Amino acid sequence: MLPIINMRLAHPEVLIDISGLQVLTGIDVVGDTLGVLTTHRMLETTQLRAVCPLLTDLAPFIALLAVRFRGTRGGFLVHADPSAKWSMAVATLRTAIELASSAGVRRLSAEEFFLRMLVTALAPDEILWRVAFPVLAPEPVWR
Ligand SMILES: Cc1cc2nc3c(=O)[nH]c(=O)nc-3n(C[C@H](O)[C@H](O)[C@H](O)COP(=O)(O)OP(=O)(O)OC[C@H]3O[C@@H](n4cnc5c(N)ncnc54)[C@H](O)[C@@H]3O)c2cc1C
């Protein structure tokens, strides 16, 4: 978002900083979900490799290390850039995306979440909550 604001392509009246919300961070391998504030760098160096290695194998190819320390799964998904590596991974792995509001949590497939380039099904009163990843067989093949 900040590069878009820097280029004067967006003029938000209000900015809410969610980076301190611990509930949105972390990887729950038992519950097979990923906090949306989990950064690319966390994925690159996590125990997730044992159960869903495509996610960890992709991470080092994203941008440069400084961006990977700041960029999050949630920010990437809501930005919905079809050229980004995670778009391919989310669609390929049939990842489920959880959106939360005061009305509760709804779970969408990648096809339901990504409407078109840079546009998602996220409603104005919703936040991206968690991302559920599939736990794969011990030696999945994707070469
Ligand atoms: C120089 C550079 C190079 C890059 N190269 C690559 C690359 O090679 N490959 C690649 O895949 N990606 C690349 N990216 C994208 C990068 O990996 C980040 O994923 C992306 O910029 C999102 O950043 P962010 O997490 O800071 O999200 P932000 O910019 O903070 O957020 C993006 C949007 O999502 C919204 N948002 C964020 N979190 C939530 C939430 N939980 N709920 C609701 N809305 C939310 C924000 O309001 C904003 O509209 C690059 C980015 C930069 C700046």
Q: Is the separation of the CB atoms in 133 and 95 below 8 Å?
A: yes
**CATH number of the domain located at residue range(s) 23-132 in this protein:** 3.30.465.10
Does 58 sit in the ligand 1 pocket, CB within 6 Å?
A: no
For β-strands 27-28 and 114-116, DSSP reports them as unpaired
pLDDT one-digit tens code per residue, 11-61: 999 888 888 888 887 777 666 676 767 888 888 887 777 777 888 888 889
Q: Is the separation of the CB atoms in 25 and 43 below 8 Å?
A: no
pLDDT one-digit tens code per residue, 47-101: 777 777 888 888 889 889 999 998 888 888 898 988 888 778 888 888 889 999 9
89/110 Cα distance (integer angstroms): 10
Locate the ligand 1 atom nearest the alpha carbon of residue 68 and give its number: 17
Measuring from atom 26 of ligand 1, which residue has the nearest CA? 71
Residue 22 phi, psi dihedral angles, 5° rounding: -60, -30
Residue 63's closest CA among 110, 120, 3?
Answer: 3
* Token code pair at residue 83: 């050229």
16/19 Cα distance (integer angstroms): 9
Mean pLDDT computed over 117-138: 86
| Structural domain boundaries in the chain | 23-132
Measuring from atom 37 of ligand 1, which residue has the nearest CA? 75
